[in-house]
Amino acid sequence: MRKEYSWYQLLVTIFLILAIAGCSGDKITAPTGSVVSINPLSMSVSDTNPSATHTQYFTITIKDEKDNPVQNAEVSISLPVAIPDPLGYAQLYDGSTPKNSPFIATTNADGVYYLRVDYLSGGGTSFTSNLEIRSGSAFASATLTVS
């Protein structure tokens, strides 16, 4: 005996499959009214020694308008002097993985992302650049100065 299925049953089945697939902790951007903070807000180095590479870590935090952490939020990170070249002024990292600028990162369960920046100083190296962080309409920047 052949069983007949109605269009309604088919549509309900498709909807349920799509709804279940959509419940996977999708990444979001910060909701309107959220605040992005960066620590430290600035970094300044004056170095007359021969050229050397240094590392600076930045903590990026996103909180909503009620001061709750925004977890799993996509964050755009940009540093204009960062290029994927060992001879460049700076290099961004996601953990230990080098990244081009800009790149997209994701906050953890506490609404935090830890950024590593390697930069050159000494040997006549001199630059000022802004580290820019965006998620939704939220924005923050930190200044990096090497002289």
User: Domains of the chain by range and CATH?
Assistant: 30-146 (2.60.40.10)
Share of the chain above pLDDT 70, in %: 80
54: pLDDT confidence band, cut at 50, 70 and 90? confident
The pLDDT value recorded for residue 7 is 53
- Mean pLDDT of the chain, nearest integer: 82
Query: What pLDDT, in 10s, does the model give residues 92-122?
Result: 999 989 898 999 999 999 999 999 998 887 7
Q: Any residues with CB less than 8 A from the CB of 41 and at least 6 apart, and which?
A: 142, 143
Pairing of strands 90-94, 97-99: antiparallel
Q: The tokens of 71 are what?
A: 């977890």
The pLDDT value recorded for residue 16 is 44
Sign of CA dihedral 68, 70, 71, 76: negative
- Tokens 């994701």 locate to 106
* DSSP per-residue codes, 56-111: EEEEEEEE-TTS-B-TTBEEEEE-TTB-SSTTSSEEEEETTEEE-SSEEEE--TTS
